[in-house]
């Protein structure tokens, strides 16, 4: 490794005459912008121009490169620093474009921009070979075809060149060309030249850990491609990676996808700060039995599943199911549906009808929990576990039972924990008094109810939610509701007091009395739910409650409580439950005495205060690995976890040393000492 300081424009680039700086395809696109970087760069330049000593320098950062010989040509493959290097080349091109005469322009061209020993059209003619994604925009500038520049382009290459060209022209007019160029020559860098013994990927990771954070997807791209030849990199990029970029419009969206992808494959979420390492571990293991191309093909395949489920407009026979799925705007089931898609599209283990019926079950699960007011964070990490459990049961009992198996995993197995699907009774009790107006999905629910079993689907795009009894109370409405203050506020926002009207009608309705509002409803009788309102003679608290009950029943009818028909693997009598110290947990007692603690099981909130606790390190390790997670009120398991005994399972949940036989109970509420143990089932 060789390291030295250099003036970027005065020394480092001119010293590379006859060589070419190459931005490998694994590097992310040129991302510097006018607002974030170039405005400050201009201020720094003015500082150098106005420096009376003419000796001050401005340090831009580090440029790391690996020098390779390709077909007897020297390439400097940039490992880090492409943003500042490309920007300096754009500055040189801008100075050339505004040069006062052709001789100055040629001087800049020969010194910084082109290798004149190479013939025109040669790949090595330009001193900079940009990334594939930026190549066409840069080439137009490099060849001086300024009239072909699309000034409306979204490209940072184009935008930054036009900005630099304009601002440098202004500076030249104010200070002279030579003075500006001399100041530009005092931007400095430290270059690091790697040799074959250096681990370029490791150095890249170390450098970028302290700079502007690269996303995991940036690092993953570099990891996959860095050890390849430029030709291999280009093939992987154009054949596979570019297709990922077409699905995900930014690297952070792609980062989230990689997290869902790994969770689908491995059955567990990786925390964001360890996602890159988790992906490397996965890739190294899989590459032993496959190839980079096949693994990339799998990534692209899963990205297409993701796009189809979340991005593309639903069409066809099952469009309503997919539309419901997209309306929820939930990424929680992403790992589940990605693996489910593989079973349908590639493995052909399930039919199209089964595929969408499973998604319908997922919709049901999420919708009922949402309108019950259940904490969604409690189930966000459970879906990778769910899909692996479904897979195990299906492999044993047959994929023809896939829909019932999914109901078993999501509903039946969760009946006694925090991941449970709310019963009709619970859903009615909670939604009856909930502030439905603040719920994001309330408008969606009203639209679903309106269009359910309606042969002529109503266009809802120009409708808005209207309070029948107005939000702002008046004496008239308080008397009708027999409520004031907080009681009025609680009643006015319940779902029974909400309907859909056109936006002009919403404004006109205001705080008017019910008879006046009915005239507005008369204009919207094409909305079926408003027809029944128009037929009413008064609107009271009882009217609101009755309508709330009606709408909730419609919700329950459309998304009923589901029950599975089979057990599939476990003996139901071995399901065990723990309720102590304010927590609830559930699990399964295996015949060998081990216990699987189910996801959703809670951990005692004051467990750190127990001096006799001997499983603190184990608990911390589970937290680090994402098996348990911080939740409202304390820790909870977000993945199933198997312990060696009932006592260790109890100790993990409650802290200290516990006799699990006295804490865990069977499905009848009898402690295990008096049930399974005494029946000699262990």
Task: DSSP for 176-195, please give it.
Answer: -HHHHHHHHTTEEEEEEEE-
**Residue 238: predicted pLDDT:** 86
User: In angstroms, how far is CA 382 from the centroid of its own chain?
Assistant: 16
Closest CA to 431 of 498, 480, 360, 379: 498
pLDDT of residue 210: 40
Give the confidence band of 508 by pLDDT, cuts at 50, 70, 90: low
Q: Indicate whether 677 pLDDT > 90.
A: no
Give the Cα separation of 610 and 623 in Å (integer). 18
Please work out, in degrees rounded to the nearest 5, the angle formed at the alpha carbon of residue 171 by the alpha carbons of 165 and 174: 145
Residue pLDDT, tens place only, 26-39: 776 788 999 999 99
Please write the tens of the pLDDT for every residue from 332-363: 999 999 999 999 999 999 999 999 999 999 99
377 pLDDT higher than 70: no
Of 98-102, 206-210, 406-410, where does the model show the most confidence? Answer: 406-410
> Do 258 and 272 contact (CB within 8 A), yes or no?
no
Q: Which residues pair with 482 in a beta bridge?
A: none
Q: Are strands 641-643 and 595-597 parallel, antiparallel or unpaired?
A: antiparallel
What is the structure's pLDDT at 517? 79
Q: What is the pTM of this model?
A: 0.72
450 pLDDT higher than 80: yes
Rounded CA-CA distance 307/384 in Å is 19
Contacts of 90 (CB under 8 A, 6+ apart): 141, 157, 160, 161, 164
Average pLDDT over residues 430-450: 93
Residue 171 and residue 46: Cα distance in Å, rounded?
8
Q: Per the structure block, which two tokens stand in for 126?
A: 């330009």
**Res. 516 pLDDT band, cuts 50 70 90:** confident
> Residue 129 above 90 pLDDT?
no
Say what the pLDDT of residue 183 is.
Answer: 93
- pLDDT tens readout for residues 181-201: 999 999 998 888 876 655 566
Contact 130, 86 (CB under 8 A): yes
Please tell me the predicted confidence (pLDDT) of residue 208.
55
Using the structure block, give the residue that is written with the tokens 């082109």: 114
Average pLDDT over residues 491-504: 87
- In this prediction, residue 378 carries a pLDDT of 63
Residues linked to residue 65 through DSSP beta bridges, in sequence order: 78, 193
Is residue 675 within 8 A of residue 682, CB to CB? The reply is no
Q: What is the mean pLDDT of residues 326-332?
A: 93
- The whole-chain average pLDDT of the chain stands at 87
| Integer Cα distance of 325 and 310 in angstroms | 8
Q: Which of 107-121, 338-352, 367-381, 570-584 has the highest mean pLDDT?
A: 338-352
Give the model's pLDDT for residue 186: 92
On whether the CB atoms of residues 393 and 408 are closer than 8 A, the answer is yes
């Amino acid at each position: 490794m060789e390291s030295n300081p250099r003036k970027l424009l005065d020394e480092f680039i001119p010293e590379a005459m006859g060589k070419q700086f190459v931005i490998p395809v694994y590097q992310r696109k040129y991302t510097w912008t006018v607002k974030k970087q170039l405005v400050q760069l201009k201020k720094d330049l003015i500082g150098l121009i106005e420096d009376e000593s003419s000796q001050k320098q401005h340090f831009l950062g580090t440029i790391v490169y690996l020098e390779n010989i390709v077909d007897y040509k020297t390439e400097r493959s940039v490992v880090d620093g492409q943003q500042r290097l490309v920007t300096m080349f754009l500055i040189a091109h801008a100075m050339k474009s505004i040069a006062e005469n052709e001789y100055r322009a040629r001087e800049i061209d020969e010194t910084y921009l082109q290798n004149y020993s190479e013939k025109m059209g040669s790949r090595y003619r330009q001193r900079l070979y940009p990334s594939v994604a930026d190549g066409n925009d840069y080439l137009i500038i490099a060849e001086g075809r300024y009239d072909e520049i699309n000034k409306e382009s979204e490209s940072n290459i184009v935008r930054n060149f036009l900005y630099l060209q304009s601002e440098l022209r202004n500076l030249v007019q104010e200070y002279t060309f030579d003075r500006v160029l001399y100041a530009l020559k005092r931007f400095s860098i430290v270059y690091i030249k790697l040799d074959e013994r250096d681990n370029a990927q490791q150095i890249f990771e170390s450098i970028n850990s302290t700079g502007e954070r690269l996303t995991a997807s940036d690092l993953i791209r570099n990891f996959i491609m860095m050890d390849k030849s430029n030709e291999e990199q280009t093939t992987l990029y154009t054949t596979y990676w570019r297709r990922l970029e077409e699905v995900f419009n930014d690297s952070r969206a792609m980062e989230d996808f990689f997290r869902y992808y790994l969770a689908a494959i491995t059955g567990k979420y990786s925390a964001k700060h360890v996602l890159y390492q988790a992906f490397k571990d996965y890739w190294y293991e899989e590459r032993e039995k496959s190839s980079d191309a096949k693994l990339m093909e799998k990534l692209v395949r899963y990205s297409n599943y993701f796009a189809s489920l979340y991005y593309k407009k639903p069409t066809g026979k099952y469009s309503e199911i997919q539309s419901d799925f997209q309306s929820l705007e939930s990424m929680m089931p992403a790992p589940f549906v990605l693996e489910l898609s593989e079973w349908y599209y590639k493995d052909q283990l399930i039919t199209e009808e089964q595929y969408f019926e499973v998604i319908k079950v997922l919709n049901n699960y999420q919708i009922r929990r949402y309108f019950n007011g259940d904490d969604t964070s409690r189930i966000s990490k459970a879906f990778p576990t769910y899909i692996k459990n479904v897979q195990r049961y299906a492999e044993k009992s047959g994929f023809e039972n896939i829909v019932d198996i999914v109901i078993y995993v999501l509903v039946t197995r969760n009946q006694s924990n925090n991941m449970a699907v709310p019963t009709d009774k619970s859903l009615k009790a909670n939604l009856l008094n909930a502030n439905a107006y603040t719920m994001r999905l309330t408008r969606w629910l009203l639209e679903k109810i309106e269009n359910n079993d309606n042969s002529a689907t109503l266009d809802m795009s120009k409708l808005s939610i209207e309070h029948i009894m107005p939000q702002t109370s008046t004496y008239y409405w308080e008397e009708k509701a027999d409520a004031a203050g907080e009681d009025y506020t609680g009643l006015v926002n319940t779902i029974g007091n909400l309907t859909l009207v056109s936006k002009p009608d919403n404004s006109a309705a205001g705080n008017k009395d019910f008879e006046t509002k009915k005239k507005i409803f008369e204009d919207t009788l094409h909305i079926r739910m408003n027809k029944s309102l128009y037929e009413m003679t008064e609107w009271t608290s009882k009217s609101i409650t009755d309508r709330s009950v009606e709408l909730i029943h419609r919700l329950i009818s459309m998304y009923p409580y589901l029950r599975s028909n089979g057990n599939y693997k476990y003996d139901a009598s071995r399901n065990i439950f723990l309720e102590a110290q304010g927590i609830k947990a559930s699990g399964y007692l295996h015949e060998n005495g081990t216990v699987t603690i189910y996801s959703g099981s809670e951990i005692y909130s004051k467990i750190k205060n127990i001096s006799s606790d001997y499983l603190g390190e184990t608990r911390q390790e589970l937290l680090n690995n994402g098996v348990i997670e911080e939740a409202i009120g304390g820790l909870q398991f977000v993945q199933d976890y198997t312990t060696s005994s009932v006592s260790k399972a109890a100790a993990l949940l409650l802290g200290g040393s516990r006799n699990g036989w006295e804490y865990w109970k069977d499905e009848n509420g009898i402690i295990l000492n008096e049930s399974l143990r005494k029946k000699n089932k262990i």
